Structure 1
Amino acid sequence: MKYALIALGMLMISFTASADEGMKTLASKHGFHDTQTRLEAVLKEKGLTVFAKIDHAEGAEKAGLKMLPATVTIFGNPKGGTPFMVAAPESAIDFPLKALVWENSAGKVFLSYNALTWVVARHHIKGEDALATKLDGLQAAIAKAATE
């Protein structure tokens, strides 16, 4: 019984550790502003719409707080996201797509995003695997172009 409880505890830890398995993060070879600029340029080049940018550091500053640079860019195309939302309306919480450019305390810059195959699995969406895989490839290409 003791060993069963230990095994169960280890299993629970492994599930907790994999909670963010859907988030992809790439280190950038550029500074924060250059990475953000490159991201926006690549989104435009790919014909995607930037719906909003949320500058968290700016918001913190307005509230009298300080934080390292972190900007979420919300982007997409209705042709890409709509099929998922039709299949599972609650998946709209994960659309449009988002990319986070952020800097850590050591001054290193990263770009993070959620994989579409993870979003599909999260919402138990059936029949859209090919589109999710295609959009995963697009997001990976966008992230690579912004960070390299």
Structure 2
Amino acid sequence: MKIKLLLFLFFINVSYPALADNGLVSTQSPYTVPETTAKLKQVLKDKGMTLFAHVKHSESAKEAGVDLRPTELLIFGNPKIGSVIMSCQQSVAIDLPQKFLVTEDENKDVWVTYNSPIYLAARHGINMDSEKCRSVIEKVSKALNAMVPK
């Protein structure tokens, strides 16, 4: 069983090189923040996901008199999948629904960042020996990676 977990973690490390120690996956987008956000919203719609909120942090910051580079957050999910993950370990609900953070850095590069489901599984002690739990975490990991505009 531990061999399966080690192989799984190796697969994730090789497949998602942008995964940082803090559990965030960041992928560069060739589009502007508004274009990237629009593309993500369309992908979510096409996949039948629920978009719970679109937070335009930089606009709110401007209203508060704070200068913030373009920063937008999409909060989304699918209860059919998220509920399965929560049934594996209920505490993961604190990190769900999933989010895409779209930002522009100081070099004007645009990034899409999200919480790695693998990291969330480890953080919440989800039993990756369970076929049900492992398969849904793998599925969500692959789906999130595929949704990011490249």
Which TM-score band applies after superposition, normalised by the shorter structure?
A: 0.7 to 0.9
Letter of the 2:101 partner, please give it.
L
Q: What residue identity is the alignment partner of 1:29?
A: P
Q: Distance in 2 between matches of 1:26 and 1:87?
A: 28
Structure 2 counterpart of 1:101, one-letter code: V
The answer to whether the Cα contact below 8 Å between 1:25 and 1:111 also exists between their aligned partners in 2 is yes
Distance across 1 between alignment mates of 2:85 and 2:123: 12
| Equivalent residue number for residue 109 of structure 2 | 108
- Paired residue secondary structure (2:120): helix
TM-score w.r.t. length of structure 2: 0.80
Tell whether 2:81 aligns with 1:76: no
Q: Distance in 1 between matches of 2:76 and 2:112?
A: 14
Which residue does 2:12 correspond to in 1?
none
What is the deviation of 1:138?
A: 0.5
Structure-1 residue corresponding to 2:137: 132
Q: Deviations over 1:32-67 (max 9, x none)?
A: 111111110111111101000111101111211110
The Cα shift of 1:86 comes to: 2.5
Kindly state the Cα deviation for residue 115 of structure 1 after the two structures are TM-superposed: 1.4
In structure 2, the gaps of 5 or more residues are 1-19
The answer on whether the counterparts of 1:117 and 1:129 sit within 8 Å (CA) in structure 2 is no
Q: Following superposition of structure 1 onto structure 2, how do residues 1-148 of structure 1 map, counting pairs within 5 Å?
A: 19-20=21-22, 22-126=23-127, 127=130, 128-143=133-148, 146=149, 148=150
- Higher Cα Rg, which structure: 1
* Structure-2 separation of matches of 1:58 and 1:93: 26
| Identity score, percent | 34
Deviations 1:55-86 (A, max 9, x none): 11011112111100111100010011112223
User: Which secondary structure does the structure 1 equivalent of 2:21 belong to?
Assistant: coil
Instruction: Give TM-score, length-normalised by structure 1.
Output: 0.81
- Structure 2 Cα separation of the partners of residues 139 and 87 of structure 1: 19
The aligned length equals: 127
2:85 touches 2:136 (CA, 8 Å); kept in 1? Answer: no
